[in-house]
Structure 1
């Protein structure tokens, strides 16, 4: 990918972010408790899966000669090695056949070309059971699991239309009801529908119009509150929407995010993070605590920056009629 001059500062955010992530490889590594039933998944498999997902997107949207592509591929190779070439997924599936996180993490790597046929075969067997299909999940998470199934060759007819109306975003709620949890839910609905930005046409026209109207004020609110992590996710959604509408990148938002970064390109979760005494950091070494407070938002900054700078120039298509959704209780 060769970024135009006007997107060069945004491109640099992605470069700096992945460079910082690369220096933190050891923090993404799986520990000895990776297969423990009572292991801390959020501090082991979750970071590794998020690393794989973002790097898969970066690799998809950049050309092989691009240094950013090379770094993303190297990080993907690292993530795959951490899973013992996919063998740990098979062992996890045997230990916890109805846990969804092994499939979700594996799917991120599978989207970049890493496959373990034995795991996929075992996962397909479990996915045919009523117990798997009837596991109770919130609608947004369900979309994510169904997307992971698709990536692993488990196809279900018309999966998105059935689940979408039950999500916060899919119901086109009153815009003033937006808050933090709704923000994270809506970004992930967009990510799942568009295969993490690979297929912007997966976003239905009514959602394109709704987001084109209301995403800018929501993003401004999050930036003003110093919610850098959520702001990064919303900027990724903005990039997806822009590929359908032809709207320009929100320069002021990117400038705010750039100014919030640390000295090495890392981005904190929120303004003035960490707090002087964070109970979640109790007993953690300072460098580990710093990693946990920065890795996700930094990955999201890289993800959003790559989607933004990779946006092709094309006229708006398939967005439907742009309008305010007064019928949904929106302020006029």
Structure 2
């Protein structure tokens, strides 16, 4: 597996470098308010940057330059969120939304805390006053509480059984959206590979059987974002699924500057468009490479 470790590490270093070099393209253009008219334009990408950075720092398997870049990206995101004040105002104004918690937890994982916001989360959590969400989304909220250290009594196994994956259905009954739901169920149950033992044996066996086939289907379709997420799932299993040929294929689509394209369509030359079209997939590549490297070196056991 030394080949996979080297490939995954190189993908991570290059992807993280690209995200760091272009981070200002993902900044708020003006003074953002807690209402956030378009959540996906800046707010969601900032959350994704924080997620990837926090996992690079948590796993600690990157080089010193990559660890420094991850810390700077996390702090950049935190500054954009006014050191958590924007999240506090949003949670206070929109009491049923879950995105402030899910965004905050990545910063908290990296040691950036906001006491008043955590007190607010404690109040809303005690009343279980969150909006109705899909089963995989309930797992996301439960894991955010768990990582932030907020007191809950969530039944992760019960929630997993309510998802598509938890029912281990016929494996060909998997469309594009359901595939994303499936991957995220794994991410949240295992806290992004930190607790692979939280996956029940029948679900592990199901994933071990069908991940290779799903990988081939979506790789043939050139859906590189989903391919990267499947690699993350593989790194979250008790025995990591990290096949050299699959990693070489994924590494082969990465551009020389570190960008990883979302699909097989041509990549725009405009820097702003390149960033906003392919930032998510490059985040996915950073996470996939980080978790694969860590698991193969003995992390998450």
C-alpha distance in structure 1 between counterparts of 2:113 and 2:25, whole Å: 24
**Match of residue 134 from structure 2:** 138
Determine helix, strand or coil for the equivalent of 1:195.
coil
User: Are 1:265 and 2:261 counterparts?
Assistant: no
Deviations 1:259-290 (A, max 9, x none): 21223110111111459xxxxxxxxx933222
Deviations 1:46-100 (A, max 9, x none): 1001111111111111258632222211211211122222122112222222211
Higher relative contact order, structure no. (Cα contacts within 8 Å, ≥ 6 residues apart): 2
Determine helix, strand or coil for the equivalent of 1:177.
coil
Where does 1:158-169 land on structure 2 (aligned, <5 Å)? 158-169=154-165
**Match of residue 118 from structure 1:** 116
Aligned residues: 299
C-alpha distance in structure 2 between counterparts of 1:313 and 1:83, whole Å: 34
Determine helix, strand or coil for the equivalent of 2:57.
helix
**Match of residue 321 from structure 1:** none
**Match of residue 329 from structure 1:** none
User: Are 1:49 and 2:47 counterparts?
Assistant: yes
Where does 1:201-216 land on structure 2 (aligned, <5 Å)? 201-216=197-212
C-alpha distance in structure 2 between counterparts of 1:313 and 1:109, whole Å: 25
Contact 1:10 1:309 in 2 (8 A): yes
C-alpha distance in structure 2 between counterparts of 1:254 and 1:313, whole Å: 16
Gapped regions of structure 2 (runs ≥ 5) = none
Contact 2:61 2:293 in 1 (8 A): no
Pick from 278, 282, 293 the counterpart of residue 294 of structure 1: 278
Aligned in 2, Cα 1:39/1:75: closer, same or farther, shift over 3 Å?
Answer: same
C-alpha distance in structure 1 between counterparts of 2:284 and 2:100, whole Å: 21
User: Are 1:245 and 2:239 counterparts?
Assistant: yes
Q: CA RMSD, aligned part only?
A: 2.2
Gapped regions of structure 1 (runs ≥ 5) = 276-284, 318-332
**Match of residue 10 from structure 1:** 8
Where does 1:180-329 land on structure 2 (aligned, <5 Å)? 180-241=176-237, 244-245=238-239, 247=241, 249-273=242-266, 286-312=270-296
